[in-house]
Structure formats: structure tokens, C-alpha cells
């Protein structure tokens, strides 16, 4: 195990994690686009694109992606039903993404078990508040890449 092997293993793991994040962001963007068209939110393609881009930022990005559609629905329709429908759409997308899309994509792309992808942000968030949650997924990808490549030799 030389330095080049470590760089290749770490770089490959981070590349796989980034690919998984991009795939997840695209899937979430498609879900937002379909849902916003159903709810008739003005500028639906723009808000779906913004939500897809912000999805890359762990935990905070999806909430920021919600603000635009809620404001557009509020201003565009001037009632409470459309913003409420956007909030319900957000809840549906979060559940679909958190329980189906992310575990499937991370398991397929980065070879991370579902239980680890759920437990690691919780544990690291307790040990290193805020930053632990942000670095949990890429760190987990690196750990599982080393485990797969070197097994018990690490």
C-alpha cells in the first residue's frame, strides 16, 4: 500500500459519492418538476432546477429549495391551498428521496449499506455537531471503499 494506492482509493470513493449525489439531485429535480406542474406553481422548471442544484447541499439544501416554490405559489395564487400543496409535495419528495432514492443510489454507486448511511450522520452529528452531518456521507464512502479494497489489511 503506497501513497498512490491511497489516493486512487480515496479519489475513487469520492468520485462514486459525487456521482451518487448528482444522480440523486437529478431524480429529486424530476420529482419537483412533476409535482410543481401538478400543483400549477408558476415557473415550475426554474424551481425544479434550483431544488436539484440545492439538493447537493446535505440537509440544508432541500429546505432552501422549498422556499422558492412556496413563495411563487403564495404570490401566484394568493391563497393558502397552493402553498400547502407545495409543502405536502415537499414532504412526499423527502420521504421518497430519503427512504427509496438515496439508499438505492448510494448502495448501487458507492457500495454503502443502507443502515450505515442512516446511522453515520446521526453518530457524527452527535460527535461533531453540524460538520459531522455534512462530512458523514463522503467519509462513509471512503471508509467502505477502503474496506472493499483492502479488507482487514487496513
For the chain, the domain total comes to 1
Residues of the chain below pLDDT 50: 154
CA dihedral (35, 37, 38, 42) positive or negative: positive
Domain span including residue 135: 3-153
pLDDT at res. 151: 81
pLDDT at res. 23: 95
**HSE-CB for 49 with a 13 A CA cutoff:** 4
pLDDT at res. 54: 96
d(CA 145, CA 127): 23
pLDDT at res. 153: 61
pLDDT at res. 84: 97
By the 8 A CB rule, do 76 and 41 touch? yes
Amino acid at each position: 500500500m503506497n501513497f498512490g494506492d491511497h489516493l486512487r482509493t480515496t479519489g475513487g470513493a469520492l468520485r462514486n459519492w459525487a456521482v451518487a449525489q448528482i444522480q440523486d439531485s437529478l431524480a429529486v429535480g424530476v420529482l419537483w418538476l412533476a409535482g410543481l406542474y401538478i400543483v400549477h406553481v408558476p415557473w415550475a422548471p426554474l424551481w425544479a432546477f434550483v431544488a436539484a442544484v440545492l439538493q447537493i447541499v446535505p440537509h440544508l439544501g432541500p429546505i432552501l429549495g422549498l422556499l422558492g416554490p412556496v413563495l411563487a405559489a403564495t404570490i401566484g395564487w394568493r391563497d393558502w391551498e397552493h402553498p400547502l400543496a407545495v409543502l405536502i409535495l415537499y414532504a412526499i419528495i423527502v420521504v421518497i428521496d430519503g427512504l427509496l432514492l438515496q439508499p438505492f443510489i448510494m448502495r448501487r454507486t458507492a457500495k454503502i449499506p443502507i443502515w450505515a448511511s442512516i446511522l453515520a450522520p446521526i453518530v457524527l452529528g452527535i460527535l461533531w455537531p453540524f460538520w459531522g452531518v455534512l462530512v458523514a456521507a463522503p467519509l462513509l464512502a471512503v471508509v467502505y471503499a477502503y474496506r472493499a479494497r483492502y479488507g482487514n489489511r487496513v
